[in-house]
Amino acid sequence: GQATAAMGLTTEALHWLEAYRSETTSAHLRHRELWAEMFVRRSRLREAERQTAVLRRHALEDTLTGLGNRRSAERRMGDLRMDREAVSVAVVDVDGFKSVNDANSHLHGDAVLRRVAELLRQHSRTGDEVFRWAGDEFVVVLPNTGEAQAVVAMERLRSAVADADWAALDVPVPVTVSIGVATAGPPGTPGPRSWRELFDSADLHLFGAKRSGRNRVRAAGGQLPAPPNRTAVLPAASVDELVAEVLGGARRRPGWAFDDGEVAS
C-alpha cells in the first residue's frame, strides 16, 4: 500500500511538474512574441518618424541650396514680433543671372546659386536667417534689427558675393547681388505692420537698387552705392537687359509702383 501511495505521489508530482514546464514554456513563448511584436512596432515607428522628417525637410528646405525655402521663410516672417521690437527683412537678387545661364548652362547657374547661398549663410550675423525665395532671389530675416544695422549687415553680404572667386566656377564675369531692405518698428513708429507689407517694401527697394545700377544695397533711408572698383569690373548691361530684369521682377508683383511713381503692369 505504501508503494502504491508513493507511486501516486510521484505521478502527481510529475503531472504538476509537466504542467509547470508547459506553462513556463508557453509564458516564455508569449514573452518572446511580445518582444518581437514590440521590436516590429518600434521599427515601424522609427521608419515612420524618418519618413516624416524627410517629408518635413522637403516641405521646408530648398533642395538645391540647402536653405529654407519660401514656405519656411513665410513661416519665419510670420513669427516676427513687430509689435515688440524693430525687425528687418532683406530681399537679395543675383544681378544678371539670366546672362549667366545663357552664356554657360543651367548647371553653371545652379552652381552659382549654391555658391551665393553659401556666401550669404557664411557671412550672415548670428541670429539672422537666410532663405531661398524663388529662382535667383533670396530672403534674409534680421530679428531685433533696425534699418541702419540691417543695411550694414547687407552691405557685408553684398561685398562677400562681389569679392568671391567666381573664376573657379568658370563664370566669365563677376557675380554680384542687389539688395533691398525694409524695417518695421520699433513700436509706435510708422511703417509696415505685417510681414507681407515688410517683404513688399523690401522687394520694392530691391527694384530701386536694380534701377540704380545693381550691386548695391537700398533701403527707405537711401542706398549704399557699390565701391568704384566694384562697379568698374561689372559688365556693361544694355538698357533693354536692365529693363527686362527689373520689369521681370515687377511682373511678379503687378500693380506695384516704383520710386518715381511708375506702376508695374
- Strand 177-184 versus strand 217-219 pairing type: parallel
- All 3 cell numbers of residue 98? 539670366
Q: Reduced to 3 states, what is the DSSP secondary structure of residue 46?
A: helix
Dist CA 169 CA 14 (whole Å):
85
Q: Reduced to 3 states, what is the DSSP secondary structure of residue 218?
A: strand
β-sheet with 222-224: strand ranges across: 129-134, 137-142, 87-94, 177-184, 217-219, 222-224
Dist CA 101 CA 244 (whole Å):
15
Active site residue 136: yes
Phi/psi of residue 61, nearest 5 degrees: -120, 140
Dist CA 189 CA 42 (whole Å):
54
Dist CA 177 CA 127 (whole Å):
22
> By the 8 A CB rule, do 91 and 138 touch?
yes
- All 3 cell numbers of residue 208? 530701386
**Of 179, 182, 141, which Cα lies nearest the Cα of 161?**
179
The β-bridge partners of 177 are: 94
**Of 174, 173, 140, which Cα lies nearest the Cα of 157?**
140
User: Which residue in the list 93, 95, 128, 136 is annotated as catalytic?
Assistant: 136
Active site residues: 136
